[in-house]
């Protein structure tokens, strides 16, 4: 029997062959929440570029459901350009929650997962990645390009995608701090618990672990509510015991006094 609250996605990519399906999905979203298009003027032009651009560039619309209830949406626009005669694909996107009493903490990792889906050949080419945040965050934009991270070309190519997306998460975190009402508030600290090797709890974490094992260290992508008090106490106990055992190894054994030795 399938769970009633299973998370599902309805996704449509706009192209010359599927523009009508894409537009119908956008219309459905507008009917669910008129505020999607009635946001702050600062981000209006940016959002319109993602939602309403009539060109044949790749545009991806997505509605996220919990069971039968729509809980969130994602829009991604793929722009093809070049830098230093190298192909660059710029991703712009917007993500948000729909009205209703539901948890929206699954929307952001779903957005990341959509980004990775359209960066399938990232390790063969270099791309820029851009983010347009939720309208509530006033359209802040974060862009990542080949010029920003030239050192990536000298690293293991299989981890490039994870590294750039991780940098995107870090910058998103800085943006989210500016708006404490944001449901996408993310915390990350690679060095906080450097000895605790946690296992992935979902596909998004498994993706990062697969491409770069060092992301196992700490709470790199956990939402602040996800890291429970019990788990924190577990870590403190583990680190404390490890420190005690380490200090005991450094204590020299006491030598036996000569007078107490048995003489033959």
CB 78 within 8 A of CB 87: no
217: DSSP letter: B
Q: What are phi and psi of 9, to 5 degrees?
A: -130, 135
pTM: 0.43
Q: Look at residue 151 in the predicted model and tell me its pLDDT.
A: 34
Token duo for residue 14 = 């706009």
- pLDDT 10s per residue in the chain (264 long)? 555 666 677 777 776 556 788 778 877 877 777 666 554 444 455 455 555 555 555 677 778 777 777 877 777 666 555 444 544 455 555 666 677 655 545 555 555 555 545 443 333 333 334 443 333 333 333 333 222 333 333 333 333 444 444 444 443 333 333 333 333 222 232 222 222 234 444 444 444 344 333 333 333 333 333 344 455 555 567 667 766 676 665 544 444 445 544 444
Q: Edge-to-edge, what's the strand order for the sheet holding 86-97?
A: 7-14, 58-66, 69-83, 86-97, 129-132, 141-144
**In this structure, what token pair is assigned to residue 27?**
């219309």
**pLDDT at position 4:** 63
DSSP three-state, residue 173? helix
Map out the domains of the chain with their CATH numbers. 1-181 (3.40.630), 187-247 (no CATH)
């Amino acid at each position: 029997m399938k769970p009633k609250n299973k998370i599902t996605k309805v996704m449509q990519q706009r192209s010359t062959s599927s523009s009508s399906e894409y537009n119908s999905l956008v219309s459905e979203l507008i009917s669910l929440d008129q505020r999607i298009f009635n946001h702050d003027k600062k981000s209006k032009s940016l959002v319109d570029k993602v939602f309403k651009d009539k060109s044949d560039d790749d545009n991806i619309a997505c509605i996220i459901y919990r069971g039968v209830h729509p809980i969130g949406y994602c829009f991604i626009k793929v722009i093809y350009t070049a830098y230093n005669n190298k192909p660059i694909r710029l991703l712009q996107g917007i993500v948000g929650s729909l009205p209703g009493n539901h948890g929206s903490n699954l929307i952001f990792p779903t957005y990341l997962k959509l980004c990775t889906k359209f960066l399938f050949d990232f390790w063969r080419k270099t791309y820029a990645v851009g983010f347009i945040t939720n309208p509530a965050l006033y359209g802040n934009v974060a862009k990542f390009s080949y010029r920003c991270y030239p050192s990536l070309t000298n690293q293991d190519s299989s981890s490039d995608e994870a590294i750039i997306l991780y940098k995107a998460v870090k910058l998103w975190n800085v943006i989210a701090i500016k708006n404490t009402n944001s449901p996408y508030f993310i915390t990350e600290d690679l060095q906080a618990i450097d000895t605790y090797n946690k296992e992935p709890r979902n596909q998004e974490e498994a993706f990062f672990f697969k491409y770069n094992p060092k992301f196992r260290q700490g709470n790199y992508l956990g939402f602040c509510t996800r890291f429970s008090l019990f788990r924190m106490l577990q870590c403190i106990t583990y680190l404390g015991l490890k420190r005690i055992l380490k200090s005991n190894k450094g204590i020299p054994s006491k030598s036996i006094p000569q007078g107490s030795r048995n003489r033959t």
